[in-house]
Structure 1
Amino acid sequence: METRAHHVLIGLFTVAAVLGALLFALWLGKSSLDRDFDNYEILFDSSVSGLAPGSLVEYNGIRVGNVEQLWLDPQDPRKVHALIRVYAGTPVKQDTQARLALANITGNMNIQLHGGTPESPLLTSRRGPPLIVADPSPLTTLLGNGEDMMSNLNNLLSSANRILSPENTNHLSHTLEHLEVATEAIASQREEFRQTLQHMNSLGKQAGLAMEEITKLTHTANGLLDEHGSDLMNSAKHSMAALDRSTSRLDKLLADNDKALDSGLQGVADLGPAIGELRATLASLRRVTQHLEDNPSGFLLGREKLQEFNP
């Protein structure tokens, strides 16, 4: 009897624990159902792959609700509408923004609310849930362009395979061998390179000294010009002034004696025939003198010059 009584007590305790757990669960469910929520509509301009009803809604990393419904825009099927509900009192402002965020490594997505300044008023609407236009998500763009990225990656790998073909590999090997030979040749000429660098260094020093001398000469020339240049310029000015005065006097003299010069030039023209006759007379006299020098007796006596006999 005592053993049976223990079993009855254990059974009653178990039944009481199960009933308590059920009542606690019903209380929690009732409290969650009685909690107030605010509904908002999120508009996405791209794919929402990984988002589903029941997905979490977070505001700056804190859970504030979940996704209630998803549907396509009847006018533009490229757009997706999401109806979310958040806890009443959540400060969703007019400048609050929304975007998709990766929930875990399995590819599930959540909706992240962010932004909202204290000065901005709360987001409300008289006609249905207020609308929030979602920001483009870099992750969504990356996933949407994944096919193009993989295609580009395949093209890149194909190009790399063509570049690293056996023929190109052999050419690269030969190039490296030639480069190694050239490096060894340069290393063997290190002493000559060192001497060349020393010569270049000495030439640079000499060039520096030459530049210093040229600079000194320039300074000296500038000093001479500064000292005597003004005197030379003054002398040149005086000379030009004297030349100008002489030219003016000559022009005046020519103008005053214009008629006399015309008469003199006419007299010179009349002397032309006389000068010609004088030139002919002088030529005849030169020939007579030449004959007298060559054969004076023959010219005076009318005999011809005897020819010398050459045996």
Structure 2
Amino acid sequence: METRARHLAVGSFVLLLLAGAFIFVLWAAKFQGQVSYNGYYARFSGSVSQLRVDSTVNYGGIPVGRVTDVRIDPEDSALARVDFEVRAGTPIRVDSQATLELQSIAGGVGMSVSRGSSSQPLLPAGSEVPAAASALERLTRQAPDLIAKIDRIANNLNAMLSRENQQALTDTLANLRDLSAGLKERGPQIDALIADSDAAVNRVGDAGDKFSKLAADLQKTLGPAAREAQKAVDAFEKMARSFEGTSDQMNALVAENREPLRQFSGTALYEATDLLAQMRDLVASMARISQELERDPARFFLSDRNKGVPAP
């Protein structure tokens, strides 16, 4: 009886667990059915060979939907049309772009839709989202060129590692070894040369200090002379300005008295010359009178004394 009761309890528990799981699945399906999606499509000119139906569609890195169909575009067979749906409310704008991206390192390709500018209007459901070249597509297009470049690099490396270059590299290493050994043997001479160089540098430094001191002494010595020379230059400039002012005044005076000076040089100058001649004669007469006075004043004033005084 106890065994049957235990089996009955376990069976009842399992039935309840299965019923709960069934109810949860129905609830999840009902919740999933309440989510609405908006359909869009994009047309790609490159390869979409790795893109599959039910591949994830990301919006700014967030999964928002899935790919519903991948086929040749009915309007242009050179393009591939990819239909996809995203959850309602996903803000796909008119400047959003659709690109292909790797889902993981292991492989798998999905679709990514950029956010676009917030100032742009929303794209209506059922519209085309412009496709752009993705990093995956660029890598696919450049893969042949990249492989060719890698092949050329490998060929160049093989050429560099030829027997001739290997021998040249071996000889170079041997020369470096010999040079190192020679430098090691001449170590004392190199040390002496370095010491002489240090001494020469020190002497140059001492000479520089002496030149600096000499320059300071010259500056102290020539300082007063320079100031006196500056004073002389200032005085000369002042005198030049004074002469310039005097010259200007003389020019103005001559300009103002040009007519009187012309009259003076024409008539008055001749009369002044005549007056000077008469004055020269007067001075000569005065000189003779002065000599007569000095020689015999009485005779000059009383005439000849030998004649006497006439009787009344």
Same fold (TM over 0.5): yes
Report the counterpart of residue 227 of structure 1 in structure 2: 228
Q: Is there any run of 5+ residues in structure 1 with no aligned partner, and where? A: 1-9, 239-311
Report the counterpart of residue 102 of structure 1 in structure 2: 102
Report the counterpart of residue 51 of structure 2 in structure 1: 51
Residue 140 in 1 paired to residue 137 in 2? Answer: yes
* Partner AA of 1:139 in structure 2: L
How far did 1:107 drift?
2.6
How far did 1:103 drift?
1.6
1:229-248 to structure 2, matched below 5 A, reads: 231=232
Distance 1:217 1:136 in 2: 77
Distance 1:178 1:48 in 2: 59
Distance 2:15 2:174 in 1: 88
Distance 1:15 1:164 in 2: 76
How far did 1:205 drift?
2.3
1:195-214 to structure 2, matched below 5 A, reads: 195-214=196-215
How far did 1:36 drift?
2.8
Going from structure 1 to structure 2, the CA distance change for 1:109 and 1:231 (only over 3 Å counts) comes to same
Does the CA-based 8 Å contact 1:40-1:132 persist in structure 2?
yes
Sequence identity of aligned pairs in percent?
A: 27
Distance 1:203 1:167 in 2: 50
Going from structure 1 to structure 2, the CA distance change for 1:219 and 1:139 (only over 3 Å counts) comes to farther
Q: Deviations over 1:99-147 (max 9, x none)?
A: 222123343111122324555443216xxx1121133312321132112
Residue 216 in 1 paired to residue 217 in 2? Answer: yes
Distance 1:51 1:65 in 2: 14
1:71-82 to structure 2, matched below 5 A, reads: 71-73=71-73, 79-82=79-82
Going from structure 1 to structure 2, the CA distance change for 1:233 and 1:33 (only over 3 Å counts) comes to closer
Report the counterpart of residue 156 of structure 1 in structure 2: 153
Q: Deviations over 1:146-196 (max 9, x none)?
A: 121111011111112212222222222322333344344445112322222
1:1-311 to structure 2, matched below 5 A, reads: 35-73=35-73, 79-116=79-116, 119-124=119-124, 129-187=126-184, 188=187, 189-217=190-218, 220-221=221-222, 223-228=224-229, 231=232
How far did 1:41 drift?
1.4
Where 2:47 maps in the other structure, the secondary structure is coil
Aligned length: 231
Distance 1:194 1:165 in 2: 46
Report the counterpart of residue 261 of structure 1 in structure 2: none
Distance 1:202 1:67 in 2: 84
Distance 2:229 2:24 in 1: 118
Does the CA-based 8 Å contact 2:92-2:115 persist in structure 1?
no
TM-score by length of 2: 0.57
Distance 2:43 2:225 in 1: 88
TM-score by length of 1: 0.57
How far did 1:38 drift?
0.8
Distance 1:233 1:183 in 2: 71
Going from structure 1 to structure 2, the CA distance change for 1:16 and 1:219 (only over 3 Å counts) comes to closer
Where 1:85 maps in the other structure, the secondary structure is strand
Q: Is there any run of 5+ residues in structure 2 with no aligned partner, and where? A: 1-9, 241-312
Where 1:99 maps in the other structure, the secondary structure is strand
Where 1:208 maps in the other structure, the secondary structure is helix
Distance 1:21 1:231 in 2: 116
Q: Deviations over 1:78-101 (max 9, x none)?
A: 543211112223333334433222
Q: Deviations over 1:199-235 (max 9, x none)?
A: 2222232133224314532563454243246659989
Does the CA-based 8 Å contact 1:47-1:78 persist in structure 2?
no
Distance 1:183 1:195 in 2: 22
